[in-house]
Amino acid sequence: MKVLVVGLGGVTNGGKTTLAKRLRKRLPNCSILSQDDFFKPESEVEIDERGFKQYDVLDALYMDEMVTSIHTWLKNPTGFSVSTAEMKSTHSNLKSTEEVHILIVEGFLLYNYEPLNEVWDRRYFLTIPYEECKRRRSTRVYQPADPPGYFDGHVWPMYLKHKREMEENTNNIVYLDGTKSEEDLLSYLYNDILREQEVLKK
């Protein structure tokens, strides 16, 4: 059985989760793992000198558990895959690729954690400009809610810091413009992943 592990990383509110869910619907034998599911409880998240909870750092996440979950999937991808029965009529042309199982891992901080670097077959990174990111973030409801000044005081500076570190230490990242239409991004990712499947099968 062949497997393909795809990282879909990027800035907060860049469209990662939406794209991952839409890809799962279109790709046979596809599962999703979300980094947001590995956040520590609020009581375990550090607070800085300004009173901001430090959510946008690796220490706010159970990263060891995330790595374990990915390796568990690698050992038994069929235990996690969604059913493709409803897709076969509309995706009959993909039957030849169904022996390849795909895991899409989506999250805001995927490529800065050394133990994960060995698992990626494909790495994508969504970017959007500051103003658009701030606008989108303001429309979302978080638990706990963002306190005043949190985006400029913590979220955006941490994004820039981690992006810089990622660029210095990681290769083979495909950067995606998150301001493009959802359909354009979906089409690009879908076709690119299909090409990776074909390479894997050879």
Q: 3-class DSSP state for residue 65?
A: helix
Residue partners of 11: CB distance under 8 A and separation at least 6:
108, 126, 127, 128, 133, 159, 163, 178
Query: Catalytic: which of 36, 59, 64, 184?
Result: 36
36 is catalytic: yes
Buried residues in 134-172 as b, exposed as e (16+ CB within 10 A):
bebbeeeeeeeebeeebbebbbbebbeebbeebeeebee
* Strand pairing class (122-127; 173-177): parallel
Q: 3-class DSSP state for residue 123?
A: strand
**Token pair for residue 116?**
């994960």
Which sequence positions are flagged as catalytic?
Answer: 36
